[in-house]
Each structure stands twice: as structure tokens, then as C-alpha cells.
Amino acid sequence: MQDKTTEIFKNAPVPKAVLSNVIPSIISMIMVLIYNLADTFFIGQTKDAYMVAAVSVATPAFLIFMAIGMLFGIGGTSLISRMLGEGKEDKAKNTSSFCFWTGVSIGIISMIFIWIFVQPICRMVGASNDTIGYASQYLAIVASSIPFLIVGNSFSNIIRAEGNPKKAMIGMVIGNLINIILDPIMILGFHWNVAGAAIATVIGNVFAAVYYISHLVSKKSMLSIRLKDYKAGERIASGVLAIGIPASLNSILMSVSNIIINNLMKEHGDMAVAGLGVAMKVNMIVVMLLIGLGTGVQPLLGYCFGARNKKRYLAVLKFSLCLAFCLSAVMTVICYCGASPLVKAFLEDQNAFEYGMSFARIYIYSGPIMGILFVLINAIQSTGAALPSLILSISRQGLLYIPILLIFKTVFNTAQKLALAQPVTDYLSTTLAVILFIITYRKYFKDFPQTVPQAEEDHSMETTS
């Protein structure tokens, strides 16, 4: 019998199926966004721009370890949604258990690694003599939550694959809401400053992970984290890693590129670094919403691909691309017009504000096409196409961005032109994503049936209801 949690994947009208998956995902990303903005906002209320700069330079180092959660989350989601589409529920359980226990093990190793090498890591990512103390303190504390962070990041995605987007959303909301509530108490109330922000982050990550674990051990979940279900063979590990590694490489390269631009921007002073960090936060308002849209639609696309339902796959993709373009356009206008008050909320120093304002306006240039980029990235991942996913992942923040950044440094060597490297890269990456999706579609869909069972087709074509 078709499980009711995946019924919407198969039979709901396309707009309903897309929105019921996308809206909880977007809400989750909004909570992540608010959490990121809250950290910077309340640290900014200390009136110490060096603290803002310290958190800005420490964040890329932590994001490298968050990429592990992305590896199992995106890789696991892609494989599990295809397995459920094919009716292989036992293999889906094996995959979820593999993602959980492997992720936790790597998280513990990563946590110990950061504790041992925290100061060298902070120096490597661009901390100056004025910010090294704050950055080291922040990163060392936050590292204690890495195993929980990996579980949270992994299963906020994986649970969507079983048709439970609301459960995935609730876990993210719980973790981030706790963090947001504790931030002003610990940063300003207890005067713990960056240490307070770090402790709030740790507690939030723990609560999110515990929520997901409680769901996974209940009878309400189709998935499993039991050790007896752990299995890496039968193409489970390779299936997860084939899509997970490209997805995590994107996060890792994003961190590496942030480290590079922080070091290049450091030549223009700590206030330029602080301004850049805040501009990235403002740009995240657009980016996080569109990432939520892309990741939200991926399980639905993966299920349609696994079920070999070409017509429904294309209907879902078309609706998602239209929705992404409209959301991109609206958010770009809002963020461009609201850049000044947004940056002012985080930075009191006039020099840092001027940098932040100019950077924020530059970063938002890529806003109109970002939704298309993220939907196509997830559409490619939903098919299990490892090579196109890898090419796209290493291009946006590595193969394209880093050379463009270094060229801009050599040719222009101004702070504003360094920031311009990101939107230039985003437009090139979107063009590449379109090309790679066309190649993927022609390769992976050529043997799919041109028709689907009539009842299923009737539901697929109900694009308005």
C-alpha cells in the first residue's frame, strides 16, 4: 500500500505538491537566516566592530564542517527519494542509518580536530592580531556541537525525502528559535559577547538534533537510524557520496572562497572585512530563501525520477522555475532598496557601514537569476547524475569564482571590485547549470516511457486547483 507520507509526491496536483514541500523548506531557511542575522546583530550591539569581524572570519572555518551535514543530507535525500519512488523501502532505511552513524563519527573527529588546532585554523581563515582572540573563542565553543550540527543538517533534508517536510521544518525552527532567544540573553544580558553567541549556537544545534532523533526512532517515520539497519554496501555509500560529495564540495569551496576573499579584503582593513561579512548576511536574505525553494523541490523531483514519471517531473520543474524567478525578482528589489537600514542595523562604525553598504548593493546584482540556479542544481541532483553535479559544484565557488576573484585582484585591486567577482560568477554558473541540465535530461530521460498510468497522469495535469 502507498504510504500516506509519499502520497503527495505521486498524486497531488503539481502546484500543491511543490508548495507543500517548498513552503516548509523556505520557512526552515528563513529561520536559519534569522539565526545568522541575529548572531551578527546582537554582537553588533556591543559596538565592537572587531567582534563582528571575528565572527565573520570564523564562520567559513565552521562552514567547512557543516558541509559534512550537506554531504549526507543532499546525498541521502537524493538516494532515498529515488528508492522510495522505486518502492525499495528497506534500502531507504539502510541509507538513512548509514547517513546518521557515519555523519556522527565524522562529527566527533572534526570536533576534536578544531579543539586541537583552533588558533592555526583562525589564522588561516584571515583572523588578524585584533580579532584572533575573539575568533578562536567563538570557533572553539561552537565546535562542541559539530556532531549535533551534522545530524541536524543531514536530517533536515533527509526527512523531506519520506514526505515529511513539516517535520523537517519544525526541527530547524526549534533549533534556530532557541538560538535566537538565547542570543540577546547571553551576548548582552550576561555580557558573554562572542562566547555567548557560540553557546547559544551549541544549545540550538543540540535541540534540533534531539528532535530529529526522536522522530526517527518513533513509529511515524519510514526511515531508520538503528545500527542493525546500517549498511554501506549495495551501492548505498557510493549512491550517497556520488551526489553528496559534489553538494558538500560546493559548501567547502564556498568556505574556501570566503577565506580567500577575507584574506584579500584584509589588505583594505578590518572594517572592510566587517563590512563584507554584513553584506554577505544581507545577500543571504535572497540566497537562503531560494536555497529553500531548490532543496524543497528536490525530493519531489527525485521521487518522480525514481517512478520514471517524465511528464510529472517536467511539470514540477516548470512550475518550480517560474516560482523561483518570481521570488528572485521580488526579493532582489526588497534587498536592494532596503540595503541601507539592513547594514546600519549591524554596523555603527561609519567606515565599516560604507563598505557594507556598497558590498551589499553589489552582491544583490545576481539576485534575479539565483532561483533558477538553485532549482537546476537540485534538479540535476535529483537524477543521481554525479558528474554534472560535481562540475557545477566545483565551478560556482571554485573553478569559476576563485580565478575571477584573483583576476579582479590583479587587474583592479579595489574592495568593491573584489565583491563584484561573486555576481559575475553567479551569472556564469547559471549559464553552466542550464547547459548541464540539458545534457543530463537528454542522457537520463531518453529511455523513460512517454506515458504514465492514466490515474497518475490525471493528477499530474491538475496544475490548478
CA angle 114, 276, 182 (to 5 degrees): 55
pLDDT of residue 462: 45
Alpha helix stretches (DSSP H) within 307-338: 310-337
pLDDT in tens, 131-167: 899 989 999 999 999 999 999 989 988 998 888 888 9
In this structure, the chain runs to a length of 465
d(CA 348, CA 17): 45
Angle in degrees, CA 218, 223, 226, rounded to 5: 75
Reported as half-sphere exposure (CB side, CA atoms, 13 A), residue 153 has a value of 26
Helix (H, G, I), strand (E, B) or coil at 328: helix
Kindly state the cell numbers that stand for 220: 511515524
Q: What is the pLDDT of residues 302-357, one digit of tens each?
A: 999 988 889 999 999 999 999 999 999 998 998 888 888 888 887 777 888 889 89
**Interatomic CA distance for residues 427 and 256, integer angstroms:** 20
**Under a CB-based contact definition with an 8 Å cutoff, are residues 249 and 394 in contact?**
yes
Q: What is the mean pLDDT of residues 417-425?
A: 92
Task: Return the number of other C-beta atoms located less than 10 Å from residue 308's C-beta.
Answer: 14
- How many of the other CB atoms lie within 10 Å of CB of 238? 13
Burial class (CB in 10 A: 0-12, 13-18, 19+), 394: middle
pLDDT of residue 92: 92
Q: Which of 104-108, 261-265, 348-352 has the highest mean pLDDT?
A: 104-108
pLDDT (average), residues 29-37: 78
Instruction: Give the per-residue pLDDT at 6.
Output: 66
CA 221-223-225 angle, to 5 degrees, is 110
Could you tell me which residues come within 8 angstroms of residue 57 by beta carbon, excluding any fewer than 6 positions away? 122, 125, 126, 127, 131, 135, 262, 273, 277
pLDDT in tens, 193-236: 899 989 999 999 999 999 999 999 988 888 999 999 999 988 89
Q: What is the pLDDT of residues 342-382, one digit of tens each?
A: 888 877 778 888 898 999 999 999 989 999 999 999 999 88
Cell digits of residue 51: 567582534
pLDDT of res. 5:
55
Cβ atoms of residues 408 and 420 within 8 Å: yes
Q: What is the mean pLDDT of residues 39-43?
A: 81
282 vs 177, more confident: 177
CB atoms within 10 A of CB 465: 9
The pLDDT, as a whole number, for residue 45 is: 84
Q: Can you give the C-alpha Rg of the chain in angstroms?
A: 21
Q: Write down the mean pLDDT value for the chain.
A: 86
